[in-house]
Structure 1
Amino acid sequence: MHIAVSRRIVRSAVLALSVAALAGCSMFSSPNPRYEPAPLTEYPAGISAHIAWSVSIGSGGGYGFAPALVGEAVYAATPNGNISKLNAASGAVLWQSNAGVDLSAGVGSDGRTTAVAAGDGTVIAFNDQGIEKWRGKASSAVNMPPAVGNGIVAVRSSDYRIQAFDEETGELRWSLQRPGPALALKTNMQMVIVDGLLVSGLPNGRLIAIDTRSGNVQWEGTVSVSQGATDLERISDVVGTPQLQGPLLCGVTYQGRMVCFDLTQGGRPLWEQYFSSNTGMATDTRQAYSANQRGQVHAFALNDGHEVWKQDALANRRLSSPAVIPQAVAFGDYEGYVHFLSRADGQLLGRVHVGGDAIISPLLASNNGVLVQTGNGNLVLVGVN
């Protein structure tokens, strides 16, 4: 049994890498103009975007790494084991620690406990002075940031198991496993804790809500169903971070759909759109925003799902998961640019280059602008006027 599981995990990892390689070759090395990244163009600036501060937090970046904002503090980690807490407004470093091992994912934080994960499944928790509290062991590799809150540190491992550790002691509190597909997408995914529930997307196109205390499943909903004859065609993972907006819980999948569920109606789907994203979505009180796998940005109305606007000017620029701020919706791209689009009509408003090559980590909205974790280990605040 253990041998079969291990073989499936290894096969999934190899296939996931193959998907990434194929995507890179087909979309960014092909002479076919259809797949060429759209060139940057000049346009009247609608906002003024600037780098407010930039701080080196370590070395490297990639999938599994995303900054976390708690109050006026931002937490971040890098693959070389560094964990940092900074003042979100000024960029002043409040503390830095090192896990002593290379990391595969981080960070999760509730302002009291900050957690990261190593490639062998080790989960490491620090207190809010940057002192290590405990180490635990997940069932397999962890490639998405832990979720911390309501007394637990939760991780989702590569064998499709979600496990919760006691926030103070590191003791395993509960473990839940769902069957998974042969092949899963390697991209940014995050879990959220809200109102005593851990909400997570799954690699089978489903969203799940789990009671943080008991580990009992409170609700499951289908965003999309796998279709196709091959493992590649059947990839239908929920990507990015589940979005909670008032009574709505929304998710988007690769090669599937975007769906918003109405929690006041037992979690029934309110609307759905056929859609494919490999990075995720963001919402405000009126609209949902996402870039499809071709880099075309869409906005959908939250009340009924109709398309409000579509912007093609950033096609094939490998856009990141978006962040919504009062002035605009922002996306990072493969050259280290952050682009700002009008929330009303999708028009380009401004851009700024933050360096560090491709922006892979999801952008994070703050009261001071947009926080960007770059591929070379910098954390940058982009201010907007």
Structure 2
Amino acid sequence: MLVQRLAFLLMLSAGLVACSSLNPFADPPKTKPAELVDFPSSLNVKPLWQINLGDTPAGALTAFGTATAMRAYVASGSNIRVVDLSNGNVLLTAPAPERLTSGVGTDGEVFSAATRGGEIVTWGADGNIKWRSALNAEVLASPAIADGIIAALTTDGRLIGFDQATGKRRWVLQRPAPALTLRAASPVVAVRNGFIVGFPGGRILAVSARDGQARWEAVLASGRGANEVERIADIAASVGILNETICLSSYQGKVGCLAVRDGRLQWDKEFSSPVGVSAAGGSLYGTDEKSIVHALSGSGGASLWKQDKLLYRTVTAPVALGSSVVVGDYKGMVHFLSAANGNFLARLATDGSAISGPPLALESGARRLVFVQTAAGGLFAFEIQ
């Protein structure tokens, strides 16, 4: 919701926003959404289990896996729930001091999230709070953990690094925030002893975990237009990693890939997306502002296909799994598309509320699993047979 790879194929989601903010998904679509088309189902997808975790922030689903177990960490009201993804059992409930506003960051040992009162809280594996520290600002993006540092991105444009063990503030990096930004996700991704972070205004930084210094800085898109709304160009939360490049998209801006090592732009093209992209098998998959799903060549951005039959259905960022690409929409429908041509393969319903972040896709051995979170607090598991 937020994307990263672990021991097996795993897609993650990340978190959200800035100063005076605009949320394009806060209300029902203003343009009439497309009616769903009928098609012959050609992919067998089986519902596995479902649970309800109550009110959750958008993009609050984070996963962590080992060779023997896969767990989801879900921010829910004023609790963190740890869920066994093999059966939906809640393994742990960790109370927070107050309502949570962000998703969860974890390294499998500790996990962190931000509260409505502007604190970052870190729990141990036993669910007890290890430390809490003031941020003095709202945080909606899931924290990220690298090299003993937990990094949190505030809505006023600060990336703050905390010592993972003690909670001591180690450094602060700040970039000016535009007057108006989307109330939508900006990525904080842990890579190579540091973080790649999307700041409001289309700015991307690689930041050292050790000292908070920017290793490189790039601009994927800059705001253009006659007013503040037209000049919004924020980086979307879901990103894709292809070999040694990181691929991102922006609202009213571009999609492109940059070298992780030095930030050098590999390619870019015009593309507007408030939700972001994912990557698999040398291809990039993204959903644009009209809810058209696209497949692009990861090496140069050439269009491979697009699926426009979900127009204005507030479609999530896509996630690839095997030969299919999975998205959710505002009515809680989960759509499976062909990775080869974008045709519909299967469709399943959840609880009727919006899918609130990108699906989580997992390959473990021969099993291909998909998990989605809904705005009503549902967590649903499916398996491609």
Same fold by TM-score greater than 0.5: yes
What are the Cα deviations for residues 318-361 of structure 1, in whole angstroms up to 9, with x where unaligned? 00122221131111100001111111111111111121501122
Q: What amino acid is aligned across from residue 365 of structure 1 in structure 2?
A: A
**2:187·2:196 contact (CA, 8 Å) conserved in 1?**
no
**1:160·1:177 contact (CA, 8 Å) conserved in 2?**
yes
Name the structure 1 match of 2:223: 226
Name the structure 1 match of 2:100: 103
Inter-partner Cα distance in structure 1 for 2:350 and 2:257: 33
**1:78·1:377 contact (CA, 8 Å) conserved in 2?**
no
SS state at 1:103 partner = coil
Indicate whether 1:360 and 2:356 are aligned. yes
Name the structure 1 match of 2:63: 68
**Greater CA drift, 60-69 or 251-260:** 60-69
Indicate whether 1:343 and 2:343 are aligned. no
1:120-159 to 2 correspondences below 5 Å? 120-159=117-156
Shift of 1:180: 1.3
Q: What amino acid is aligned across from residue 60 of structure 2 in structure 1?
A: F
Q: What amino acid is aligned across from residue 285 of structure 1 in structure 2?
A: G
1:327 to 310, 323, 328: 323
Shift of 1:263: 4.1
Shift of 1:70: 3.0
Inter-partner Cα distance in structure 1 for 2:72 and 2:128: 14
Name the structure 2 match of 1:374: 374
Name the structure 2 match of 1:313: 309
Q: What amino acid is aligned across from residue 320 of structure 1 in structure 2?
A: T
Name the structure 2 match of 1:215: 212
Inter-partner Cα distance in structure 1 for 2:117 and 2:97: 13
Inter-partner Cα distance in structure 1 for 2:332 and 2:218: 35
Name the structure 2 match of 1:185: 182
Shift of 1:199: 0.9
Indicate whether 1:293 and 2:299 are aligned. no
Shift of 1:111: 0.2
**2:331·2:353 contact (CA, 8 Å) conserved in 1?**
yes
**1:249·1:263 contact (CA, 8 Å) conserved in 2?**
yes
**2:58·2:375 contact (CA, 8 Å) conserved in 1?**
no
Name the structure 1 match of 2:43: 47
Inter-partner Cα distance in structure 2 for 1:86 and 1:358: 21
Give ranges in structure 1 of 5+ residues lacking alignment: 1-10, 29-34
Inter-partner Cα distance in structure 2 for 1:82 and 1:151: 24
- Identity of paired residues, percent? 32
* CA 1:365–1:189: 2 relative to 1, 3 Å: farther
Shift of 1:62: 3.6
Shift of 1:290: 0.7
Shift of 1:187: 1.6
- Equivalent residues, number: 362
* CA 1:190–1:261: 2 relative to 1, 3 Å: closer
Indicate whether 1:254 and 2:251 are aligned. yes
**2:144·2:152 contact (CA, 8 Å) conserved in 1?**
yes
**Greater CA drift, 362-371 or 115-124:** 362-371
Inter-partner Cα distance in structure 2 for 1:148 and 1:70: 15
**2:234·2:251 contact (CA, 8 Å) conserved in 1?**
yes
Indicate whether 1:16 and 2:22 are aligned. yes
Q: What amino acid is aligned across from residue 140 of structure 2 in structure 1?
A: N
**Greater CA drift, 66-75 or 343-352:** 66-75
Indicate whether 1:168 and 2:169 are aligned. no
**2:204·2:218 contact (CA, 8 Å) conserved in 1?**
yes
Q: TM-score, normalised by structure 2?
A: 0.89
* CA 1:54–1:190: 2 relative to 1, 3 Å: farther
Q: What amino acid is aligned across from residue 65 of structure 2 in structure 1?
A: V
* CA 1:263–1:75: 2 relative to 1, 3 Å: closer
Name the structure 2 match of 1:304: 300
Q: TM-score, normalised by structure 1?
A: 0.89
SS state at 1:338 partner = strand
* CA 1:295–1:369: 2 relative to 1, 3 Å: same
SS state at 1:104 partner = coil
Q: What amino acid is aligned across from residue 341 of structure 1 in structure 2?
A: L
Alignment root-mean-square deviation, CA: 1.8
* CA 1:20–1:349: 2 relative to 1, 3 Å: closer
Inter-partner Cα distance in structure 2 for 1:322 and 1:152: 30
What are the Cα deviations for residues 271-303 of structure 1, in whole angstroms up to 9, with x where unaligned? 111000011111113111111110111110011
Indicate whether 1:241 and 2:245 are aligned. no
> After TM superposition, which residue ranges in structure 1, 4 or more long, deviate above 3 angstroms?
none
What are the Cα deviations for residues 169-207 of structure 1, in whole angstroms up to 9, with x where unaligned? 111111110011001101233311011121111111021
